[in-house]
Structure 1
Amino acid sequence: MWICVMVGNLIRGIGETPIMPLGISYIEDFAKSENSPLYIGILETGRVLGPLIGLLLASFCATLYVDIGSVNTDDLTITLTDTRWVGAWWIGFLICAGVNVLTSIPFFFLPKTLPKEGLEDNADVTKSNKEEKHREKAKGRKHGMTKDFLPFMKSLSCNPIYVLFTLLSVLQVNSFIMTFTFMPKYLEQQYGKSTAEIIFLIGVYSLPPICIGYLIGGLIMKKFKITVKKAAYIAFCLSLTEYLLFFLNYMWTCDNFPVAGLTASYEHERIQQPLYVKKNILAECNKKCNCLTKTWDPVCGDNGLSYMSACLAGCENSDGTGINMVFQNCSCIQSSGSSTAVLGLCNKSPDCTIKLQYFLIVSVVGCFIYSLSAIPGYMVLLRCMKSEEKSLGVGLHTFFIRVFGGIPAPIYFGALIDRTCLHWGTLKCGEPGACRMYDINEFRHIYIGLPAALKGSSYLVSIFILKLLRNFRLPEETDSSEAELAEMKLTEKESEYMDVHGSPEFENDRERKTKL
């Protein structure tokens, strides 16, 4: 199965290449320099709208059981908030695959090349000549790419701005991948919500501000014609502001689920235990029941304490079917009521719902500020390279952030999160399964602390980039100055030509030649 997933991702990566990164180079080559930030912002907005729609679709699919159509859901004894619940993930893949095929059709009608913006304002002859020269230049660049590959690689590796920006991107992508990939799991464990609800909230609260930030960032760059050096300072200040806001998430915290034998004591209800101690799973009230200690089928007692199974709660009989089942005469439930329990973990306190709203508000503000800095920051990368190196440079930049950011980050971050697991599930064959419950305090330290450390180190690299930009002459500035110098020389020659050809001696000489 994992081979099928890997091959599918490989094909998807090949399909993404014409848009990202080659599409950005395409826009940068054929658009005016003041317009390209806005166009790239629109492209990035489209890249965010896709995940937004995908998350909303995933939220709906997560409410459907994975074996829909072949299992009677009325007989299920697990709810949406249960960690054993698996949604119908495969429906989203089928829908998105069909949409991808439809959206690929317009790309077949794109022209092989486009006239650069601004040429249409000149005379028709000049326009056609410039278009022809541009085509020849592009054609020569295409045929010379193979022999120019090593020189381009050497030029890029000797470009300190490019190298440092790539390192900066790798560090920040590591931080972003960790935060975004494990956010649903973190919010589920921290605030006790279902997967479907969490995915919906992430899509609604996080992605629209990113779209707006990309568009506004591109419009600001176009409207005020901000130089690359100013854009670098703007991106640094905005990103640093978002980084400081990120630490507010330490304030919106909740305690672990109160589970007897894991995070709370049987004898003293809701007294938290810092670590999992296996011998505490069994107590005097359930020793005679011969319960399995590895079973995870949690129930919530009417005393507000959860138990790993109805057996460990000391329940003697049950009433009802499916998720409406009620367990009665539970000896471990110490309460003045009827000592009953229902399926599922007990809900967390109402304060957790309020803290979740605070977390999402901070997320909205942080996503907007960070996306506002993305377009100015990305223009530093594009403008620090020569025009003929942009396709290769953008491609290598994307390659490095995906290889050193997208691949290892979920692996080592997931391994660290697994170390916070309090109880592992067990498969039917006896092998360990998925984690059923985490120590949320340790989880929080890793989820917030490690990305903060990686992102914080990236600002040290940013400071070096800002210092280099002070004395660094960007290729675009060099190209423009050389073009202005060539234009001045051409103007001088034309004026000399007009002075000479407009003189009386030249007119008389021309008349004699005409008569002869």
Structure 2
Amino acid sequence: MVCSEEQQSESGPLWGEASWILIGQALCSCGTPVYPLFITYVDDGVNNRAMGLYLGALFSTITIGSAMGYGIATLCLSLPSYLIYTDAYLPTSPDDPRWLGNWWLGFLIIGVLLFFVSIPLWFFPRFPRKTFVDEEEEDGDCKSDSSDDYVEAVTQGLKSLESEATHGFLHGLVLSVGRIVSNITVVCLILASTAIAGFIAGFQLFGAKYIQYEFSFDPDFASILFGLLLVPAGILGNIMGGYLVNRFAHERNDMAKMVVTCAAVCLILSPTLLFLGCKNNQVSCLTSLDDKNRYKCLFACDAFSRKQKQFTVDLLEYWTNAGEQISHR
């Protein structure tokens, strides 16, 4: 159902409604520090050799959360957005072109769950209790003088920051950022992490839409299928990466070689996605100008109601006046 120009001018820009979505996205962004803080917290409490496996299990939960999000979104979109209203003119089935799924219910459910899950975080100890013996005690080896100096310098820096005023803290923060930016290795890691995060975000946002339009699937089925493809691959990849680091990459050089090797394999295999797809559908009256097919389209539109979204007419793709795509199967 398309609004007229008069209705659109009367509704206005709708900034009041859109501002709530913007505020919600800003609040979601405020929770991003939980990832680096959790990594540091786990690193302080587990053995270094088992750190990779713990991180693999930790990041696999992100994939599980994405799958749960797709499932909740699919369930909510199958419900009408106007749960408390009853009107004879409102659509009652997702097959109706005027159907509007309950897009806001998923935000409400996830927000309530996040509130209750975040409460136990307040009771975590400030420093985790170590459940392992230090490596130098096991092997009888002592750390190098440079490592001791580094730890001592960091400890003294933290103590001085705690005792300084706000001005001194900001001054130290600026100096710390300057040292990080001047470190080429750290800058390369940050750029690589940014590229990976952008790739994952784009894949999660547009993967379901790509499946929907490329393979002519319904939006709900495309979301479910994308979630089924994403979850096993994400969990398996995180767990396998943690195991490989735990098993083979105990030193920094080994980790660097492993990262370069995995990145090279991904770069070589990525162009194969360009060949993943189907032949473009023939659209009646657009790519297929046969009058015979046009008459069949008009006959089919008369035979089916406006609420019918999909039906088959000689393997051609049709569009109704309501703007609904009628795909071949």
TM-score using structure 2 length:
0.71
Question: Would the aligned equivalents of 2:45 and 2:129 in 1 still touch at CA under 8 Å?
Answer: yes
- CA distance in 2: counterparts of 1:20 and 1:302, whole angstroms: 51
Question: Would the aligned equivalents of 1:65 and 1:86 in 2 still touch at CA under 8 Å?
Answer: yes
- CA distance in 1: counterparts of 2:98 and 2:245, whole angstroms: 48
Question: Would the aligned equivalents of 1:57 and 1:92 in 2 still touch at CA under 8 Å?
Answer: yes
Is 1:10 the equivalent of 2:21? Answer: no
Q: Which amino acid aligns with 1:231?
A: M
Partner of 1:443: none
Q: Which amino acid aligns with 1:9?
A: Q
Cα pair distance change 1:223/1:307, threshold 3 Å: closer
State the shift of 1:78 in Å.
7.4
The C-alpha deviation readout for 1:438-488, integer Å capped at 9, x for no partner, is: xxxxxxxxxxxxxxxxxxxxxxxxxxxxxxxxxxxxxxxxxxxxxxxxxxx
- CA distance in 2: counterparts of 1:72 and 1:301, whole angstroms: 32
Question: Would the aligned equivalents of 2:60 and 2:238 in 1 still touch at CA under 8 Å?
Answer: yes
Higher strand share: 1
Match of 1:175 among 199, 206, 212: 199
Question: Would the aligned equivalents of 2:316 and 2:328 in 1 still touch at CA under 8 Å?
Answer: no
State the shift of 1:214 in Å.
1.3
State the shift of 1:208 in Å.
2.4
- CA distance in 1: counterparts of 2:242 and 2:293, whole angstroms: 56
Is 1:49 the equivalent of 2:68? Answer: no
- CA distance in 1: counterparts of 2:157 and 2:116, whole angstroms: 30
Question: Would the aligned equivalents of 1:48 and 1:210 in 2 still touch at CA under 8 Å?
Answer: yes
- CA distance in 1: counterparts of 2:124 and 2:132, whole angstroms: 20
Question: Would the aligned equivalents of 1:42 and 1:214 in 2 still touch at CA under 8 Å?
Answer: yes
- CA distance in 2: counterparts of 1:135 and 1:243, whole angstroms: 38
Cα pair distance change 1:215/1:134, threshold 3 Å: farther
Question: Would the aligned equivalents of 2:80 and 2:99 in 1 still touch at CA under 8 Å?
Answer: yes
User: Number of aligned pairs?
Assistant: 285
- CA distance in 1: counterparts of 2:97 and 2:205, whole angstroms: 17
Q: Which amino acid aligns with 1:44?
A: F
Instruction: Work out the percentage of aligned pairs sharing the same amino acid.
Output: 20
State the shift of 1:306 in Å.
4.3
Question: Would the aligned equivalents of 1:156 and 1:162 in 2 still touch at CA under 8 Å?
Answer: yes
Question: Would the aligned equivalents of 1:30 and 1:115 in 2 still touch at CA under 8 Å?
Answer: yes
- CA distance in 1: counterparts of 2:231 and 2:97, whole angstroms: 25
- CA distance in 1: counterparts of 2:47 and 2:104, whole angstroms: 43
- CA distance in 1: counterparts of 2:55 and 2:73, whole angstroms: 27
Match of 1:227 among 227, 248, 251: 251
Partner of 1:460: none
- CA distance in 1: counterparts of 2:29 and 2:283, whole angstroms: 43
Match of 1:94 among 84, 108, 126: 108
Question: Would the aligned equivalents of 1:191 and 1:348 in 2 still touch at CA under 8 Å?
Answer: no
- CA distance in 1: counterparts of 2:82 and 2:251, whole angstroms: 56
State the shift of 1:220 in Å.
2.6
Structure 1 residue ranges without an equivalent (≥5):
123-132, 271-282, 287-296, 312-342, 350-516
From the CA coordinates, give the structure whose radius of gyration is larger.
Answer: 1
Q: Which amino acid aligns with 2:53?
A: L
Question: Would the aligned equivalents of 2:211 and 2:222 in 1 still touch at CA under 8 Å?
Answer: yes
Match of 1:192 among 192, 201, 216: 216
State the shift of 1:107 in Å.
0.7
Alignment of 1:69-468 (within 5 A): 69-70=84-85, 76=91, 79=94, 85-116=99-130, 118=132, 140=159, 142-143=161-162, 145-267=169-291, 269=293, 302-309=313-320, 345-349=325-329
Instruction: Please give the secondary structure, in 2, of the residue aligned with 1:21.
Output: helix
Instruction: Please give the secondary structure, in 2, of the residue aligned with 1:263.
Output: coil
Partner of 2:10: none
**Larger deviation, residues 162-171 vs 196-205:** 162-171
The C-alpha deviation readout for 1:402-449, integer Å capped at 9, x for no partner, is: xxxxxxxxxxxxxxxxxxxxxxxxxxxxxxxxxxxxxxxxxxxxxxxx
- CA distance in 2: counterparts of 1:303 and 1:160, whole angstroms: 61
For the aligned residue pairs, the C-alpha RMSD in angstroms reads 3.8
Cα pair distance change 1:13/1:252, threshold 3 Å: closer
Instruction: Please give the secondary structure, in 1, of the residue aligned with 2:125.
Output: coil
Instruction: Please give the secondary structure, in 1, of the residue aligned with 2:235.
Output: helix
Question: Would the aligned equivalents of 2:44 and 2:128 in 1 still touch at CA under 8 Å?
Answer: no
Structure 2 residue ranges without an equivalent (≥5):
1-16, 138-151, 299-307
Partner of 1:62: 77
Instruction: Please give the secondary structure, in 2, of the residue aligned with 1:182.
Output: helix
- CA distance in 2: counterparts of 1:135 and 1:117, whole angstroms: 23
Question: Would the aligned equivalents of 1:67 and 1:88 in 2 still touch at CA under 8 Å?
Answer: yes
- CA distance in 2: counterparts of 1:213 and 1:301, whole angstroms: 40
Question: Would the aligned equivalents of 2:91 and 2:98 in 1 still touch at CA under 8 Å?
Answer: no
